[in-house]
Structure 1
């Protein structure tokens, strides 16, 4: 879904692998989620038949306007993907500084590609309350329990260049005010 947005050496598409199924759309790397259009690369004719059959249950036909816009985006993919890569690179630098500043509270592995990171609370506690505190400040994070990783949270970093640093500033206040459960002192 995120190919070809990389933060270092590019990786070849899995479509060259004999048994790989490659799914792609315009939501992630193209940053055009409203188009709700994508594609599958599948070498195996039997699996391809199953995918084609399943498609009938999800979408009988696509929106012709969305298909036209998807075609334009594909023809201009170097420009569209170049802009996504540029924004991702700039915002990843902001995120790296943010994570370094808050390393006592937050851990992470720098992503090698894509528009998201998956940090965690160093305290290993459930990140959902942290995500709720961030939401109260207007910063939306996806709690890790959605991915069976409760102490983690997903943060997207391909927001408009001027919005992402401001969101990190608000999130920084959440981190500074955050008290891990292990450090909370009972009032009784």
Structure 2
């Protein structure tokens, strides 16, 4: 049978959860104030703008009659399911979120959640990373999750300390060069 005539099955409601990094058992979903705002803004955009627009299209398409060959109706319903799934996922993540303001450590040289850390490896190559929440990580921008191996290794170290990072390629010594936190928002 041609795939075009096979009815799609409902996808698992937890698809987004499987794509997102899991929160360790017993741990909290730490997040920065900026990350919390970003997720909340996305949730409000979906609820207030995108979902009502798709509902209008689906309603209009349904009023046209035969729904079995109505592309606007079929794809609109699919998009509606995707939006609803994302809304459920974001709502769960916000419910579990514990907002941690890294500016409370401003001026400290010890590494905690929210720190921006510059370190060098044994070859002298310098890297700068910021420790953020699970929902905020972006390795291309130097943002690593607080549950990542590098973040767990350097947490609680201070400027000038040398820490040992165990990687799949072996052991690596890292020297902490600089630790900074954002200033308190006024």
Q: Same fold (TM over 0.5)?
A: no
Instruction: Decide which structure has greater strand share.
Output: 2
Q: What interval of TM-score do these two structures reach, taking the shorter chain for normalisation?
A: under 0.3
Instruction: Decide which structure has greater helix share.
Output: 1
Structure having greater relative contact order (Cα 8 Å, sep ≥ 6):
2
Query: Radius of gyration: which is bigger?
Result: 2
